Amino acid sequence: MFRVVICEDEISQREKLKEYIHKIFDENKEELEIIEFESAEELLSSGIILKEVDIFLLDIKMNGLSGMDLAKMIRKEDDRSEIIFVTSLVEYIQDGYTVRAYRYLLKPIEYEELRKHLLNCISDIKRKKGNFIIENRDGIRKIPIEEIMYIEVRKKELTIHTVDSTYYTQGSLDKIEQDFEKYNFYRCHKSYLINMEYIESITKNSVFIGKEEIYVSRHRMNELKTKFTYMLGDILC
């Protein structure tokens, strides 16, 4: 089941989006729940749990709070939902980097364009919902891969740093590196495997994952920058 929120103040646009989205999900036999709002204020006062939403489709220019303002508020509460902007204002596209927008759709909305981006979005969401199974003295634990910020290895002990906690297990970073490549992880150093989704900034010799500074091997820096730029470009196209 995918939960999709539409926030659009034009009724005709909202109805068109709803019609198109239902058709796309029906064609691909995916279960769907659509929740619609005509303003950012209505969404914020609705009591909806933001982290339980898979995809937000937000109009940028609305009366009151803009879609960009709303996206910033969503990101403060929820780091995992996908945000698609629906807009006629191309000048705001650059701002999408700050809220990690998934796509921009320009009005008037074309069905095939929406379909292409939604199917890619659905595919990415499914991919991110993978799990990493670890075993240690406490037993067996399932960790959502999308919550892993980075993994470090010392001798044969792996330390898995997630958004909310830290876990320890025995294993090889070489094997995990191969398995996690499709989840946008990168081996920036022989001892570190980082989730590029959580990169805050890249400096001359290191990368910041949240508030943690992680050293990047000199011969891997250019490749990291290339892969990170490619990832952002793929999201904001």
Determine contact, residues 61/67, Cβ cutoff 8 Å: yes
Same domain, 86 and 147: no
Looking at the predicted structure, is the pLDDT value of residue 7 above 70?
yes
Looking at the predicted structure, is the pLDDT value of residue 232 above 80?
no
Cα–Cα distance between 187 and 51 in angstroms, integer?
A: 29
Residue 149, pLDDT score? 96
Same domain, 117 and 47: yes
Cα–Cα distance between 25 and 41 in angstroms, integer?
A: 28
Over residues 178-184, mean pLDDT: 86
Is residue 98 very low, low, confident or very high in pLDDT (cuts 50, 70, 90)? low
Determine contact, residues 205/173, Cβ cutoff 8 Å: no
Is residue 129 very low, low, confident or very high in pLDDT (cuts 50, 70, 90)? confident
Residue 152: alpha-carbon gap to chain centroid? 22
Same domain, 157 and 116: no
Residue 233, pLDDT score? 61
pTM (predicted TM-score): 0.65
Looking at the predicted structure, is the pLDDT value of residue 217 above 60?
yes
> What CATH number is given to the structural domain containing 171?
2.40.50.1020
- For residue range 156-171, what is the model confidence (pLDDT) as tens digits? 899 999 999 999 999 8
- For residue range 130-153, what is the model confidence (pLDDT) as tens digits? 889 999 888 999 999 989 999 999
Among 34-48, 128-142, 184-198, 210-224, the minimum mean pLDDT is found in 128-142
Residue 237, pLDDT score? 46
Looking at the predicted structure, is the pLDDT value of residue 84 above 50?
yes
Residue range of the domain that includes 57: 2-128
Same domain, 101 and 190: no
Same domain, 192 and 221: yes
Tell me which of 128, 150, 179 is where a domain ends: 128
Same domain, 165 and 112: no
Determine contact, residues 83/74, Cβ cutoff 8 Å: yes
Rounded alpha-carbon distances, angstroms, from residue 202 to 197, 210, 216: 13, 11, 9
Cα–Cα distance between 50 and 46 in angstroms, integer?
A: 10
Over residues 30-50, mean pLDDT: 95
Same domain, 56 and 18: yes
Cα–Cα distance between 11 and 236 in angstroms, integer?
A: 26
Looking at the predicted structure, is the pLDDT value of residue 234 above 70?
no
Same domain, 17 and 119: yes
Same domain, 143 and 122: no
Same domain, 6 and 120: yes
Number of domains in the chain: 2
